[in-house]
Amino acid sequence: MPTVIRKTRETLMEVRRGVLHAVSWQVKSGIWDPPTDVYETEDAYIVRMEIAGMREENFDVLVQNDTLYIMGFRPHFPARHAYHQMEIRSGKFTTVIKLPGSVEVDDALAEYQDGFLTITLPKELSKG
């Protein structure tokens, strides 16, 4: 099961990289974005990413300052083929999602099953 990591301090390079990925300023980059749904229930925010052909160890999931970062690598199986159509992306990917509210990172759960990565981020309980 991929582990959701809380990171509290960013280096300047990490901030710049996050901004560049978020606004897609990568020119001729091999980085791509798998299809991703973000929705909420009464108790949690759910992120569901369609990304077949991977293993759990190929994902990094990080929550930092109410932003979710999902990074990974889908391997390409090189073979000499004369492609007539090629739509399945491979290589590095990064998805950056601004969470709609605060979450309990310590209770977050990431599961990869049947080609979908599902991340459940429980909403932070209001104190008061």
3-class state of residue 36 by DSSP = strand
Do the domain assignments include residue 46? yes
Q: Which CATH number fits the domain that encloses residue 8? A: 2.60.40.790
- Distance CA(15)–CA(92), nearest Å, equals 19
Does the pTM surpass 0.85? The reply is no
Do the domain assignments include residue 83? no
Contact (Cβ atoms closer than 8 angstroms) between residue 120 and residue 15: no
- Distance CA(18)–CA(119), nearest Å, equals 20
Question: Domain total for the chain?
Answer: 1
- Our CA dihedral for 85, 112, 20, 103, rounded to 10 degrees, sits at 150
Do the domain assignments include residue 68? yes
pLDDT for the residue numbered 75: 79
pLDDT for the residue numbered 27: 45
Spell out the per-residue pLDDT of the chain, length 128, in tens: 666 666 555 555 566 566 555 554 444 456 788 999 999 999 999 999 999 988 888 899 999 988 999 999 887 777 777 777 777 788 899 999 999 999 999 999 999 999 999 999 999 987 65
3-class state of residue 52 by DSSP = coil
- Angle value at C-alpha 37, between 32 and 42, nearest 5 degrees: 150
Contact (Cβ atoms closer than 8 angstroms) between residue 46 and residue 103: no
Do the domain assignments include residue 70? yes
